[in-house]
Amino acid sequence: NAGVTQTPKFQVLKTGQSMTLQCAQDMNHEYMSWYRQDPGMGLRLIHYSVGAGITDQGEVPNGYNVSRSTTEDFPLRLLSAAPSQTSVYFCASRPSGANVLTFGAGSRLTVL
Amino acid sequence: EDKVVQSPLSLVVHEGDTVTLNCSYEVTNFRSLLWYKQEKKAPTFLFMLTSSGIEKKSGRLSSILDKKELFSILNITATQTGDSAVYLCAVGRGSSNTGKLIFGQGTTLQVKP
């Protein structure tokens, strides 16, 4: 049981490049979400999904796209990276009806 | 606007000390309050509180919620260097199916030998 798996762990991009952060969970959780963590600001919700085919915006969605074609996968896309998107990104999931999120190990992204 | 505020933001203590971390919130449709511990990597779950006045305890850690005054505290007794971490408070709002977790800024605890 791997839990929540994020790839890559580290990535350096140049301004304007695009990339996708991958997130997969093997717990059959309906709810999945992406957070970013910046110093002094805690974790802020980017996008979330309550099931396959359903996504919605969180607090800081601008500059990010998501899709949910399967229960297991919830990729986060940066279409044109900006230095303000330098952060640590966490994917997290939980069963529908539960409160506790299980987090992936995080992906550290630097945009130059 | 929903808000979760933790204090202090950072704390340095010596082994054996007792610490109290605070979390206050203003959140509509409150569902639960959670505490997480983060050591370099992913946050790991500590406690979930939904009812006022009922203490949750795990070893040297304990937590309690006051839904009238809208705050929670996390106590750590007889601190050890392994307790050094960022402690995150999060409040769940909305329904259990679609609701979100809103996080505070975190408290960075350093325990010196």
pLDDT digits (tens, 9 = 90+) for B5-24: 999 999 999 999 999 999 99
The Cα–Cα gap between B13 and A86 comes to 31
Residue A99 confidence (pLDDT):
83
The Cα–Cα gap between B19 and A82 comes to 40
Distances (CA, A) of B5 to A29, A40, A85: 29, 11, 23
Residue B97 confidence (pLDDT):
67
Q: Which of A42, A50, A101 sits opposite B106 (nearest CB)?
A: A42
The model's confidence at residue A9, banded by pLDDT at 50, 70 and 90, is: very high
In degrees and rounded to multiples of 5, residue B82 shows phi and psi of -70, -10
Strands of chain B, DSSP E: 3-7, 10-14, 19-26, 30-38, 43-49, 56-58, 61-66, 71-76, 85-93, 100-103, 107-112
pLDDT value at A42 more than 90: no
pLDDT value at A105 more than 90: yes
Q: Residue B69 class from Cβ within 10 Å (0-12 exposed, 13-18 middle, 19+ buried)? A: exposed
Residue A40 confidence (pLDDT):
81
A-proximal residues of B, 43-62, CB under 8 Å: 43-45, 48
The model's confidence at residue A1, banded by pLDDT at 50, 70 and 90, is: low
**DSSP assigned state of B95:** -
pLDDT value at A38 more than 70: yes
Contact B79, B106 (CB under 8 A): no
Q: Which of B32, B41, B105 sits opposite A105 (nearest CB)?
A: B41
Angle at alpha carbon of residue A112, lines to A24 and A11, rounded to 5°: 25
Q: Which of B98, B107, B108 to mutate to test the interface with A (most CBs of A within 10 A)?
A: B98
From first CA to last CA, the distance across chain A in angstroms is 36
The Cα–Cα gap between A70 and A74 comes to 8
The model's confidence at residue B77, banded by pLDDT at 50, 70 and 90, is: very high
Residue keyed to tokens 């301004």: A15
Nearest-by-CA chain A residue for B98: A50
Residues of A in contact with B97 (CB under 8 A): 30-31, 50, 96-97
- A28 part of contact set with chain B, CB < 8 Å: no
Residue bearing the bigger pLDDT, B1 or A68: A68
Contact between A105 and B42 using a beta-carbon 8 Å cutoff = yes
Percent of chain B with pLDDT over 70: 97
Q: Locate B84 and state its tokens.
A: 């050094």
Residues of B in contact with A90 (CB under 8 A): 42-43
Across A80-86, average pLDDT: 96
Residue A53 has a CB neighbour count (10 Å cut-off) of 10
Nearest by Cα to B25 from B56, B65, B53, B59: B65
Across B84-110, average pLDDT: 89
- B32 part of contact set with chain A, CB < 8 Å: yes
- A39 part of contact set with chain B, CB < 8 Å: no
The whole-angstrom distance between B108's CA and the closest CA on chain A is 10
